[in-house]
Protein backbone atom coordinates (compact mmCIF):
# COMPACT_ATOMS: atom_id res chain seq x y z
CA UNK A 1 0.00 0.00 0.00
CA UNK A 2 1.22 3.47 -0.86
CA UNK A 3 2.47 5.80 1.85
CA UNK A 4 1.44 8.77 -0.27
CA UNK A 5 -1.90 10.48 0.17
CA UNK A 6 -2.25 13.48 -2.11
CA UNK A 7 -5.45 15.34 -2.95
CA UNK A 8 -4.74 16.62 -6.49
CA UNK A 9 -7.68 19.05 -6.41
CA UNK A 10 -6.39 20.44 -3.10
CA UNK A 11 -2.91 20.84 -4.55
CA UNK A 12 -4.39 22.71 -7.51
CA UNK A 13 -6.31 25.06 -5.20
CA UNK A 14 -3.15 25.83 -3.21
CA UNK A 15 -1.01 26.30 -6.33
CA UNK A 16 -3.62 28.68 -7.74
CA UNK A 17 -3.40 30.74 -4.53
CA UNK A 18 0.41 30.64 -4.66
CA UNK A 19 0.35 31.91 -8.25
CA UNK A 20 -2.01 34.75 -7.32
CA UNK A 21 0.18 35.78 -4.37
CA UNK A 22 3.35 35.50 -6.46
CA UNK A 23 1.85 37.79 -9.10
CA UNK A 24 0.93 40.29 -6.36
CA UNK A 25 4.47 40.16 -5.02
CA UNK A 26 5.94 40.79 -8.47
CA UNK A 27 3.54 43.70 -9.10
CA UNK A 28 4.50 45.21 -5.74
CA UNK A 29 8.20 44.87 -6.57
CA UNK A 30 7.67 46.57 -9.92
CA UNK A 31 5.72 49.32 -8.19
CA UNK A 32 8.61 49.99 -5.82
CA UNK A 33 10.97 50.40 -8.77
CA UNK A 34 8.57 52.75 -10.53
CA UNK A 35 8.06 54.77 -7.34
CA UNK A 36 11.82 55.11 -6.87
CA UNK A 37 12.25 56.40 -10.42
CA UNK A 38 9.55 58.99 -9.76
CA UNK A 39 11.15 59.89 -6.43
CA UNK A 40 14.62 60.23 -7.92
CA UNK A 41 13.33 62.32 -10.81
CA UNK A 42 11.36 64.62 -8.54
CA UNK A 43 14.12 65.22 -6.03
CA UNK A 44 16.87 65.77 -8.56
CA UNK A 45 19.98 66.90 -6.75
CA UNK A 46 18.15 67.95 -3.57
CA UNK A 47 18.35 64.53 -1.96
CA UNK A 48 21.29 62.94 -3.72
CA UNK A 49 22.55 61.17 -0.59
CA UNK A 50 19.14 59.85 0.43
CA UNK A 51 18.31 58.82 -3.12
CA UNK A 52 21.65 57.03 -3.38
CA UNK A 53 21.04 55.19 -0.11
CA UNK A 54 17.55 54.26 -1.24
CA UNK A 55 18.89 53.11 -4.59
CA UNK A 56 21.47 50.88 -2.90
CA UNK A 57 18.81 49.37 -0.64
CA UNK A 58 16.52 48.70 -3.61
CA UNK A 59 19.31 47.05 -5.60
CA UNK A 60 20.28 44.83 -2.67
CA UNK A 61 16.68 43.88 -2.00
CA UNK A 62 15.90 43.26 -5.66
CA UNK A 63 18.38 40.36 -5.56
CA UNK A 64 16.47 38.95 -2.59
CA UNK A 65 13.22 39.37 -4.52
CA UNK A 66 14.66 37.42 -7.47
CA UNK A 67 15.76 34.65 -5.10
CA UNK A 68 12.36 34.52 -3.42
CA UNK A 69 10.61 34.39 -6.79
CA UNK A 70 12.87 31.52 -7.92
CA UNK A 71 12.12 29.59 -4.74
CA UNK A 72 8.39 30.09 -5.12
CA UNK A 73 8.56 28.99 -8.76
CA UNK A 74 10.68 25.92 -7.96
CA UNK A 75 8.40 24.75 -5.17
CA UNK A 76 5.20 25.33 -7.14
CA UNK A 77 6.59 23.56 -10.22
CA UNK A 78 7.83 20.71 -8.07
CA UNK A 79 4.48 20.30 -6.32
CA UNK A 80 2.64 20.36 -9.63
CA UNK A 81 4.96 17.86 -11.35
CA UNK A 82 5.10 15.56 -8.32
CA UNK A 83 1.32 15.54 -8.11
CA UNK A 84 1.07 14.66 -11.80
CA UNK A 85 3.54 11.81 -11.27
CA UNK A 86 1.55 10.60 -8.25
CA UNK A 87 -1.71 10.66 -10.25
CA UNK A 88 0.06 8.64 -12.98
CA UNK A 89 1.04 6.10 -10.31
CA UNK A 90 4.75 6.89 -10.40
CA UNK A 91 5.60 7.59 -6.76
CA UNK A 92 9.31 7.22 -7.42
CA UNK A 93 9.14 10.03 -10.01
CA UNK A 94 7.07 12.11 -7.60
CA UNK A 95 9.75 11.72 -4.91
CA UNK A 96 12.52 12.52 -7.39
CA UNK A 97 10.65 15.62 -8.55
CA UNK A 98 10.21 16.88 -4.99
CA UNK A 99 13.90 16.33 -4.31
CA UNK A 100 14.86 18.18 -7.50
CA UNK A 101 12.50 21.06 -6.68
CA UNK A 102 13.97 21.43 -3.20
CA UNK A 103 17.46 21.56 -4.70
CA UNK A 104 16.35 24.18 -7.19
CA UNK A 105 14.71 26.23 -4.43
CA UNK A 106 17.94 26.12 -2.43
CA UNK A 107 20.18 27.20 -5.30
CA UNK A 108 17.83 29.34 -7.37
CA UNK A 109 18.80 27.33 -10.46
CA UNK A 110 15.52 26.32 -12.14
CA UNK A 111 17.27 24.52 -15.00
CA UNK A 112 16.87 21.00 -13.55
CA UNK A 113 13.10 21.62 -13.58
CA UNK A 114 13.27 22.74 -17.20
CA UNK A 115 12.44 26.33 -16.22
CA UNK A 116 14.11 29.68 -16.59
CA UNK A 117 14.11 32.29 -13.81
Dump pLDDT digits (tens) for 25-48. 888 877 777 777 777 677 665 555
pLDDT at position 77 over 70: yes
Q: How confident is the model at residue 67 (pLDDT cuts 50, 70, 90)?
A: confident
Q: Which of 2-11, 31-40, 93-102 has the lowest mean pLDDT?
A: 31-40
pLDDT at position 51 over 70: no
Cβ-count burial of 38 within 10 angstroms (0-12 exposed, 13-18 middle, 19+ buried)? exposed
pLDDT at position 71 over 80: yes
Span between the terminal Cα atoms of the chain, in Å: 38
Q: Is 99 left (phi over 0), alpha (psi -120 to 50) or beta?
A: alpha
Which pTM value belongs to this model?
A: 0.76
How does the average pLDDT of the chain come out, rounded?
84
Q: Is 108 left (phi over 0), alpha (psi -120 to 50) or beta?
A: left
pLDDT at residue 50, rounded to an integer: 61
Q: Which residue has the higher pLDDT, 38 or 115?
A: 115
Query: How many CA atoms are closer than 13 Å to the CA of 64, on its beta-carbon side?
Result: 6
Amino acid sequence: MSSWSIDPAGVLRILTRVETEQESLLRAAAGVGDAFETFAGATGTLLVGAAGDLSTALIENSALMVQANSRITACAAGASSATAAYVAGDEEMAATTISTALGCAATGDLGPLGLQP
